[in-house]
Structure 1
Amino acid sequence: MNTWADADPDPPLDFHRRLPGYAITRLVEAPRLATLLGVGSVVVKDETSRFGLPSFKILGASWATYAALRETLGPVPDSDLTPQMLKEWALPARPLTLVAATDGNHGRAVARVANWFGLEARIFVPPFVSETRRRAIIDEGAELVVVDGNYDAAVDAALEDGGMQGRLLISDTARSASDAVPQMVSAGYTTAFLEVEAQLCADDREDLDAIGIQAGVGGLAAAATVWARRPHSGRRANVVVAEPEDAASVFAAVASGQPQTVAATTPTAMAVLQCGTVSLTAFPLLAAGVSCCVALEDKWSLAAVAEMGSCGVDTGPSGAAGLAGLMAGLRGAFAGPVREHLDLGTRSRVLCVATEAAAASAFSSDELIL
């Protein structure tokens, strides 16, 4: 699978390591989850904190912004990077406003990256985004624009605004298969999986049989698929993608063999996954590499939150969606055929990714009533 992951001589991991505040996120052994899923072992990549933000999203936002600016500014100095160095490097690009659509974490990450580089940020959100998430974006110094309609409407508004003079669109989803920035966002996410690789090697357990991952627009799942199926790595881990049942755009696209748009208007506990259209840069990778798609009822994600908590990982319904997908697949109505399809047994090793902190979700059952 020849992708953006192998194309850059200045890889995202090297860039992230040089940023102030970089730290490898922990890999948690979860024997309770292994018993629950009927497998040999489960490890959880805890992405509930990155660079002081409560999700993995800044990995993609930071790399994509840097890669886009690098086209005209050249690379940053080959040394540890300080906030002052980042601002000085980006000075020739000013005035410049970073633009993004979000249902929560990506927009906040773009706003934080704008601060790093001394730029402005303008973030578009659909109306279902909670007040807590809106306030977090504003507190990063961004201008917030609420767009009538669903998440796709916010994406369209950001796309139009991002084409104006003095704007740079940092989108984590693509309307064209050739869009470069969403590819760079996904490339940035590979840092998390390369850390997992090193952590598994350190424990002399490089084998991995399955990965449970959330969908959304598909950027993180695409990064997981690329890593799991990278040539010459020796890995052939099955990738299980999970998303809300009424916003299952990846499920629909993989099933039909082409990108599909779903309504994605029904409220869900997995609010940051309420996306109606798969990213067109992610879709070919998902279609080629995903082993199983699971459309989830909220009960599964809420149960997964509790199970993650029992293993010391404090996440919310969106953050626990990867585990929820495995729970629904391996314990639900079609558990036998799913387990056989994934070839998972009592000796199998499984990875789940907890993608956001519980505080980031700020979920309450009241939010499901419109």
Structure 2
Amino acid sequence: MKDLDHLKLPRAGETSSRFTKEQALAAQKFHQTLPGYSVTRLVELPALAKELGVKDIFVKDEASRFGLNSFKGLGGSYCLFHLLSEKYGWSGKVESFAQLKDQIASLEEKPKIISATDGNHGRGLAWICHLLGLRCEILMPAGSSEERQENIRKLGADCRRTDGNYDETVHEAERFALEDDWLLVQDTALPGFEKVAQFIMHGYLTMALETVEQLKGKCPTHIFLQAGVGSMAGAMCGFFASLYGPDVPVISIVEPKTADCVYRTAEKDDGKLHNAAGSLETIMAGLSCGEPCSVGWKEIRAAASHYFRIEESVAADGVRVLSSPLENDPRVLSGESGAAGFGTAFELLFHKAQYQEEISSLGLNSESVLLFFNTEGVTDRKNFLKIVWEGAFAEKV
């Protein structure tokens, strides 16, 4: 029995012009002014590539980004920069973190920031609010990791759990923002907040731009992107499609089976968004989302051609393999969400006999160059040790 479902859907048209190299350069220019900015590493895994029968494997490792253990600080910081510049008429006057902080300090009444999170986005937002001296309220769904919640609180944010799942928590944050005049920083692209999601997605482009620069002219043939609401995946789809044009790599979108809103939307392919149902419970907490981002989906539909929904065991294997390198390959410490895309490719290539149809459909062969984004490090140490030391989630659950 296979540990994943696969759907092939030919690309539909062209991506928008909203996620180009020019927008990536603008985002990077701002991020370079932030305290603690440095380019995260691009890891090459030649020994693993040889073992799996492909030409090369690259992993963009976001575990060290701003000391936050994920890439999410890129989106929240850039979005807040734009939202505040628009709200107070600072556009064109404020171009750096220092200038933004000075302008905020001069306000008699400072804005209040709110968001919902499974962990990483809220931590990134709490971090930038702490640096800017802004009050921040973060809501987390029921059952969220205590470690992730505590990491948010350590940055000075008020953080509480709700009684609902992720999507219900997002809507609670939305109601709070509308009723009490807080700024909502959310990438779900709720009605009336689409621009907010787009600003967050623009922030993610710094990660893509760094990757291209680090590849030094090498072009990936395949990119695997994990998706929650699809904002990161959408931003990457838009960027790489714009950059490579007709030579865009084969892009695959990966989700948990229990939170498969992008897969369902692709499966229906009727021009509408389709939500995942139920508790959305998964070890891939950052992907536990039931409502796709409309802005992200447009880019995904135009650039991606393969969709996967995976069992917990696939992500867990990804965590284990990245943390246990072959020969002289570097070690990559990843969380369950960060390893989902990598785990999917590993599942296919390590169990070739079981996945001949999928491998053929993807065009994976000895000349393939695979690119992955490890979007988080170890954000829940207890669960990481269960997976790596105790072999948790080795079977379907």
Provide the TM-score with structure 2 as the length reference. 0.85
Does 2:140 align with 1:133? no
Pairing partner for 2:56 from 41, 57, 80: 41
Measured at CA, do residues 243 and 37 of structure 1 come closer, stay the same or move farther in structure 2, by a change above 3 Å?
Answer: farther
Does 2:368 align with 1:354? no
Measured at CA, do residues 69 and 8 of structure 1 come closer, stay the same or move farther in structure 2, by a change above 3 Å?
Answer: farther
Residue 253 of structure 2 aligns with an amino acid whose one-letter code is V
Measured at CA, do residues 184 and 81 of structure 1 come closer, stay the same or move farther in structure 2, by a change above 3 Å?
Answer: closer
Does 2:79 align with 1:60? no
Q: Quote the sequence identity (%).
A: 31
Measured at CA, do residues 272 and 361 of structure 1 come closer, stay the same or move farther in structure 2, by a change above 3 Å?
Answer: farther
In the TM superposition, what is the alpha-carbon distance from 1:87 to its structure 2 partner?
A: 2.2
Pairing partner for 1:244 from 237, 242, 256: 256
In the TM superposition, what is the alpha-carbon distance from 1:150 to its structure 2 partner?
A: 0.8
In the alignment, the residues of structure 1 paired with residue 24 and residue 64 of structure 2 have an alpha-carbon distance, to the nearest angstrom, of: 27
Measured at CA, do residues 9 and 134 of structure 1 come closer, stay the same or move farther in structure 2, by a change above 3 Å?
Answer: closer
In the TM superposition, what is the alpha-carbon distance from 1:187 to its structure 2 partner?
A: 1.0
Does 2:237 align with 1:225? yes
In the alignment, the residues of structure 1 paired with residue 24 and residue 341 of structure 2 have an alpha-carbon distance, to the nearest angstrom, of: 31
Whether the 8 Å contact between 1:240 and 1:325 is mirrored in structure 2 is no
* 2:90 matched residue in structure 1: 74
* 1:182 matched residue in structure 2: 197
Whether the 8 Å contact between 1:224 and 1:239 is mirrored in structure 2 is no
Q: How does 1:92-111 map to 2 (within 5 A)?
A: 92=107, 94-111=109-126
In the alignment, the residues of structure 1 paired with residue 17 and residue 312 of structure 2 have an alpha-carbon distance, to the nearest angstrom, of: 34
SS of match in other structure, 1:267: coil
SS of match in other structure, 1:140: coil
In the alignment, the residues of structure 1 paired with residue 63 and residue 366 of structure 2 have an alpha-carbon distance, to the nearest angstrom, of: 28
SS of match in other structure, 1:66: helix
In the TM superposition, what is the alpha-carbon distance from 1:78 to its structure 2 partner?
A: 7.1
Measured at CA, do residues 264 and 50 of structure 1 come closer, stay the same or move farther in structure 2, by a change above 3 Å?
Answer: farther
Whether the 8 Å contact between 1:209 and 1:237 is mirrored in structure 2 is yes
* 2:315 matched residue in structure 1: 301
In the alignment, the residues of structure 1 paired with residue 256 and residue 24 of structure 2 have an alpha-carbon distance, to the nearest angstrom, of: 37
Q: Deviations along 1:112-164, whole A, 9 cap, x unmatched?
A: 11112211101111112111111111111111132112101101001111223
Pairing partner for 1:2 from 13, 16, 22: 16
Gaps of 5+ in 1: none
In the TM superposition, what is the alpha-carbon distance from 1:75 to its structure 2 partner?
A: 4.0
* 1:322 matched residue in structure 2: 341
Moved more, 331-340 or 27-36: 331-340
Q: How does 1:132-281 map to 2 (within 5 A)?
A: 132-176=147-191, 179-201=194-216, 205-230=217-242, 235-257=247-269, 258-265=272-279, 267-281=281-295
Moved more, 112-121 or 86-95: 86-95
Does 2:340 align with 1:340? no
In the TM superposition, what is the alpha-carbon distance from 1:237 to its structure 2 partner?
A: 0.9
Does 2:383 align with 1:363? yes
In the alignment, the residues of structure 1 paired with residue 191 and residue 347 of structure 2 have an alpha-carbon distance, to the nearest angstrom, of: 32
Provide the TM-score with structure 1 as the length reference. 0.90
In the alignment, the residues of structure 1 paired with residue 179 and residue 26 of structure 2 have an alpha-carbon distance, to the nearest angstrom, of: 29
Whether the 8 Å contact between 1:106 and 1:172 is mirrored in structure 2 is no
Measured at CA, do residues 162 and 330 of structure 1 come closer, stay the same or move farther in structure 2, by a change above 3 Å?
Answer: farther
In the alignment, the residues of structure 1 paired with residue 189 and residue 108 of structure 2 have an alpha-carbon distance, to the nearest angstrom, of: 24
Q: Deviations along 1:34-58, whole A, 9 cap, x unmatched?
A: 1344210001100112112110000
In the TM superposition, what is the alpha-carbon distance from 1:108 to its structure 2 partner?
A: 1.0
In the TM superposition, what is the alpha-carbon distance from 1:328 to its structure 2 partner?
A: 3.2
In the TM superposition, what is the alpha-carbon distance from 1:297 to its structure 2 partner?
A: 0.8
Q: After TM superposition, what 4+ stretches of structure 1 lie above 6 angstroms from structure 2?
A: 76-80
Gaps of 5+ in 2: 1-14
Whether the 8 Å contact between 1:243 and 1:321 is mirrored in structure 2 is yes
In the TM superposition, what is the alpha-carbon distance from 1:28 to its structure 2 partner?
A: 0.7
In the TM superposition, what is the alpha-carbon distance from 1:334 to its structure 2 partner?
A: 6.0
* 2:5 matched residue in structure 1: none
SS of match in other structure, 2:144: coil
